[in-house]
């Protein structure tokens, strides 16, 4: 009688260990991993499972724990290309000033890499001129077929354009750059459309909650394509329903945000704020708190990108969750296609999801009729989201 060997199924913590190991491999040495609670939310498990998976990585030296600081990537496990049939290696250049959004994109890239039989190699870059090209040459020597840029500041677009044209490897980009439309993970026709759609839906959401003053908060960056999309949707909506236009674009310093809070604080009790990202929302909440004002009692607010900090703010910040696995999936597909001299770009957008927490004032007030009037936005109360 023939005996058939059956592969023993892996436990949940073993699957998670493989996921986190891939994430650690995709990040430059020294990068901080998300908190255990955030990893548990993102992988749909409890923190004890995360802790058990992390212990294996701590024991073999892949990551290191620093009390009071977090868990950090300590080393990369070396893998020879020839030992894994069909494996493709892709480089990731990580901007040294990366923000929380960029880190979530990196997680999406790491998650999707395994499904594409891709091994990632990563490096920090201080710029996309001398340092960027030097790191790109090192990644090429390491066997990488293409490079992914998960994020870069909007004021570096010209520098990135020059880098892509000078780089020996094809580069997959997280946004559309004029002249390099084929390098974007999304087709030009749809890039930024999800933000435009969700921004209008968020205006509708606050209007349905009874707010007559809806503001848009964002960075003072004239060249930011994402900001332009949000501004367009916001301006069209407020004009259409005859609401006053409250647009606050601020610089990076605390003074500019404090001045804005003083102006908008005059409308306490009837102010709803849609923020460009979680970072600006949290800065605004801090500035308002200094004035003795808080959400949602004095103002309502929500952010974008569901960063780790949004769940730990006081109160927790309502936020729009981007589908980072979708972004990672198409960044990898684009990179692999470019390496073959082809194009692969997304032509269909996932529906954005709003994670309702305390700051928007909508918890407990969302019913089926509201959901029907917001068909392009998934509304989920915190605790019901599994990634």
Give the mean pLDDT of 185-205.
Answer: 91
What is the CA 143 to chain-centroid distance, rounded? 28
- 277-286 residue pLDDT tens: 999 999 999 9
Dihedral of alpha carbons 266, 270, 275, 278, sign? positive
**pLDDT (tens digit per residue) in 279-326:** 999 999 999 999 999 999 999 999 998 888 898 899 999 999 989 999
Could you give the CA distance from residue 173 to residue 95 in angstroms, rounded to a whole number?
A: 13
User: What is the pLDDT of the chain when averaged over all its residues?
Assistant: 89
What pLDDT score was predicted for residue 370? Answer: 92
Q: pLDDT tens-digit profile of 231-284?
A: 999 999 999 999 999 999 999 889 999 999 999 999 999 999 999 999 999 999
Please report the pLDDT score of residue 97 as a whole number: 73
- What the chain holds in terms of domains, given with CATH numbers, is 12-73 (1.10.10.10), 88-183 (3.40.50.2300), 193-322+350-381 (3.40.50.2300)
| Percent of the chain whose pLDDT exceeds 70 | 93
Residue 5's pLDDT is 43
- Site of tokens 């194009």: 343
Residue range 91-136, pLDDT digits in tens = 999 998 756 788 889 888 988 887 788 999 989 999 999 999 999 9
User: What is the full DSSP assignment across 256-317?
Assistant: HHHHHHHHHGGGTTS-EEEESSHHHHHHHHHHHHHTT--TTTT-EEEEES--GGGGTSSSPP
Q: Return the bridge partners of 250, or none.
A: 219
User: What pLDDT score does 84 carry?
Assistant: 47
3-class SS of residue 127 = coil
CB of 380 closer than 8 Å to CB of 353: yes
pTM score? 0.81
Q: What pLDDT is recorded for position 166?
A: 97
Token digits of residue 171: 């580069």
> Is residue 83 scored above 70 in pLDDT?
no
Task: Name 292's Cβ contacts closer than 8 Å, sequence gap at least 6.
Answer: none
pLDDT of residue 6: 40
pLDDT of residue 99: 66
pLDDT exceeds 60 at position 4: no
* 154 has pLDDT over 90: no
Query: Distance between CA atoms of 132 and 95, rounded to whole angstroms?
Result: 9
Kindly give, in sequence order, each residue whose CB lies less than 8 Å from that of residue 258, ignoring residues fewer than 6 positions away.
287, 290
Confidence (pLDDT) at 11: 63
**Closest among 151, 183, 159, 179 to 170, alpha carbons compared:** 183
Residue 290 has a CB neighbour count (10 Å cut-off) of: 13
Return the minimum-mean-pLDDT range out of 50-59, 84-93, 180-189.
Answer: 84-93
What local confidence, expressed as pLDDT, does residue 220 receive?
94
């Amino acid at each position: 009688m023939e005996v058939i060997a059956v592969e023993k199924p892996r436990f949940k913590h073993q699957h998670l260990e493989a996921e986190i190991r891939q994430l650690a491999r995709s990040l430059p040495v020294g990068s901080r991993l998300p908190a255990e609670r955030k990893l548990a939310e993102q992988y749909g498990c409890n923190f004890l499972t995360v802790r058990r998976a992390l212990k294996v990585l701590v024991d073999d030296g892949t990551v290191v724990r620093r009390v009071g600081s977090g868990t950090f990537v300590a080393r990369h496990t070396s893998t020879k290309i020839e030992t894994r049939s069909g494996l493709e290696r892709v480089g990731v250049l990580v901007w040294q000033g990366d923000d929380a959004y960029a880190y979530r994109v990196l997680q999406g890239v790491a998650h999707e890499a395994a499904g594409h039989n891709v091994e990632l190699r990563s490096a920090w870059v201080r710029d996309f001129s001398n340092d960027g090209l030097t790191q790109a040459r090192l990644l090429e020597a390491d066997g990488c077929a293409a490079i992914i840029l998960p994020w870069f500041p909007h004021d570096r677009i010209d520098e990135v354009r020059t880098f892509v044209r000078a780089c020996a490897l094809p580069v997959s980009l997280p946004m559309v750059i004029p002249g390099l439309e084929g390098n974007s993970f999304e087709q030009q026709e749809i890039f930024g459309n999800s933000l435009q759609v969700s921004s209008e839906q968020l205006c509708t959401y606050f209007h349905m909650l009874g707010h007559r003053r809806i503001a848009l908060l964002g960075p003072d960056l004239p060249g930011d394509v994402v900001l332009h999309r949000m501004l367009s949707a916001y301006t069209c909506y407020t004009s259409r329903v005859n609401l006053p236009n409250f647009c606050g674009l601020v610089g990076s310093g605390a003074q500019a945000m404090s001045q804005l809070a003083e102006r908008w604080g005059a409308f306490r009790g009837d102010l709803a704020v849609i923020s460009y990202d979680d970072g600006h929302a949290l800065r605004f909440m801090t500035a308002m708190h200094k004035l003795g004002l808080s959400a949602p009692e004095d103002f309502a607010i929500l952010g974008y990108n569901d960063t780790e900090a949004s769940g730990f703010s006081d109160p927790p910040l309502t936020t729009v969750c981007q589908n980072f696995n979708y972004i990672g999936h198409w960044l990898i597909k684009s990179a692999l296609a470019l390496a073959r001299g082809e194009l692969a770009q997304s032509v269909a957008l996932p529906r954005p999801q709003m994670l309702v927490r305390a700051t928007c004032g909508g918890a407990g007030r969302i019913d089926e009729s509201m959901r029907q009037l917001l068909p392009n936005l998934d509304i989920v109360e915190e605790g019901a989201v599994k990634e």
